[in-house]
Amino acid sequence: MKKMSFAKIPEVLEIPNLIDIQKKSYEEFLQPGKSPLSRKPQGLEAIFNEIFPINAAKGLSSLEFASYRLEEPKYNIKECLDRGLTYDLPLKATFRLVIREEESGTGGQLREIKEEEVYLGEIPLMTPQGTFIINGAQRVVVSQLHRSPGVVYGFSIHPNGKHLYSCRIISYRGGWLEFELDVNDLVYARIDRKRKMLATALLRALGYQKDEEILSLFYPTRELKVEEPPKILKIKGPRFSRALGRIAIRTIRKSVRRLG
């Protein structure tokens, strides 16, 4: 197709075909038309290699991944649009079952190797226009930006001017864990942005049942010998426990403790 441009300012860079972003990404995921040995460790190939091999508890057998194969779609694009079908293709994978001698363990001789091709399901196929046909309707995948895994710190300002700090732990896989301070300086935790809970409840669920165990995570401890008369400990400033969400030791007056 020939394009006509009536612009007075010449183009510095040629406008790229934005659909190629979707098409190239999907081709890298499926890697169609490539032999199993020439496929790169990405997309489906990387997923299979990450899961397999699966070893038995005693190590006497293992299930290994050999290769996968993409067959031709059963219906073309026009037929799927007219008949309300999904434009997809069958995915089949070849697995290898390795069985070893029982008395030899994992380092013994092989007893038997079975290899078989398994039908895994249908994978939607992208059209040349960068769309998918699902039940006769064309759908598109919208690219989104994802936060990199790690720890993200932030804060918000309360109407009274107080800074409310927060921390978000983004995992590579799985849920997100968030910690946040409220206006009363209480520490709350959220999992996958659901209902918040006190941070101490999360720590107790992780095995820290006693208050002393939680305090030891945030404050240094001292071992004092039993002496007479009792010592008078001067504490500089109130000791606020962020784990408990309250002031652990008040210092309005001197704290007198009888040791022992």
Q: Is the pLDDT of residue 260 over 50?
A: no
Max distance between CA atoms of the chain, in angstroms, equals 99
- Listing DSSP states for 154-221 in one string gives EEEE-TTS-EEEEEEEE-SSS--EEEEE-TT--EEEEETT-S-EEHHHHHHHTT--SHHHHHHHHS--
Averaged pLDDT for residues 131-157: 89
Band of pLDDT at residue 108, cut at 50, 70 and 90: low
User: How far, CA to CA in Å, does 121 sit from each of 68, 71, 146?
Assistant: 12, 11, 28
Per residue in 27-58, pLDDT tens?
Answer: 999 999 899 999 999 999 999 999 999 998 88
Per residue in 208-234, pLDDT tens?
Answer: 999 888 988 888 877 777 666 666 666
Q: Is the pLDDT of residue 244 over 80?
A: no
pLDDT of residue 238: 58
Least confident of 66-70, 76-80, 96-100, 105-109: 105-109
Strand partners, 65: 95
Residue 49 CA, chain-centre distance (Å), reads: 18
Q: Is the pLDDT of residue 106 over 70?
A: no
Amino acid at 103: E
Tokens of 191: 């999992």
Q: Is the pLDDT of residue 236 over 70?
A: no
Mean pLDDT of the chain: 84
